């Protein structure tokens, strides 16, 4: 899989060189606030599979839906949020790339909806969508290939 994207002004460009571990639609109030939207779609992928070019993103630290800190990265010129890094994410250095910054955002569909307890009432989830009121357990949701990739990432860090 090779997906490309970038910020609104084009100062930051990136290419994803592997498939995502999983794709989230997060409906927490923090994601709503930081995106100015009803939810965010995050592509969870290892940092080494995000080839970035152009300007270096700026960042700041804020609380995520779990209450833990995460670092949000954005373009210093146009302000577009391109990805986040959550310290609690297992499997090593991972980024949560904003699917809305893809050149072709239609290429991504959420695997799971989370923090639906704060989902805006006018947002309708697709029938049969996997959804959780808060966070979920990786073992219950992730595909086997993603769990194995994460296991290998952790083993390589030891």
* Of residues 136, 78, 95, the one with CA closest to residue 3: 95
pTM (whole model) above 0.85: yes
| Per-residue confidence (pLDDT) for residue 119, from 0 to 100 | 97
Q: 116 and 60 in contact (C-beta within 8 Å)?
A: no
Contact 102, 14 (CB under 8 A): no
Assigned token pair, 34: 């930081």
Domain 3-157 of CATH type 3.10.20.30 = no
Ordered per-residue pLDDT tens for the chain, 158 residues: 579 999 999 999 999 999 999 999 999 988 898 888 999 999 999 999 999 999 999 999 987 666 778 899 999 999 999 999 986 666 568 899 999 999 999 999 999 999 999 999 999 999 999 999 999 999 999 999 999 998 888 888 77
In the chain, domain spans: 3-157
């Amino acid at each position: 899989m090779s997906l490309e994207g970038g910020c609104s002004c084009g100062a930051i460009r990136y290419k994803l060189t592997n498939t995502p571990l999983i794709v989230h639609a997060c409906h927490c109030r923090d994601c709503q606030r930081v995106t100015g939207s009803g939810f965010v779609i995050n592509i969870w992928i290892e940092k080494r599979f995000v080839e970035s070019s152009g300007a270096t993103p700026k960042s700041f630290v804020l609380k995520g839906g779990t209450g833990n800190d995460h670092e949000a990265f954005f373009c210093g010129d146009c302000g577009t949020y391109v990805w986040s890094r959550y310290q609690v994410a297992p499997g090593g250095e991972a980024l949560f790339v904003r699917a809305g910054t893809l050149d072709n955002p239609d290429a991504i569909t959420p695997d799971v909806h989370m923090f639906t307890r704060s989902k805006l009432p006018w947002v309708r989830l697709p029938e049969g969508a996997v959804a959780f009121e808060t966070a979920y357990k990786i073992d219950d949701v992730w595909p086997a290939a993603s769990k194995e990739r994460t296991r290998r990432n952790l083993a390589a860090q030891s």
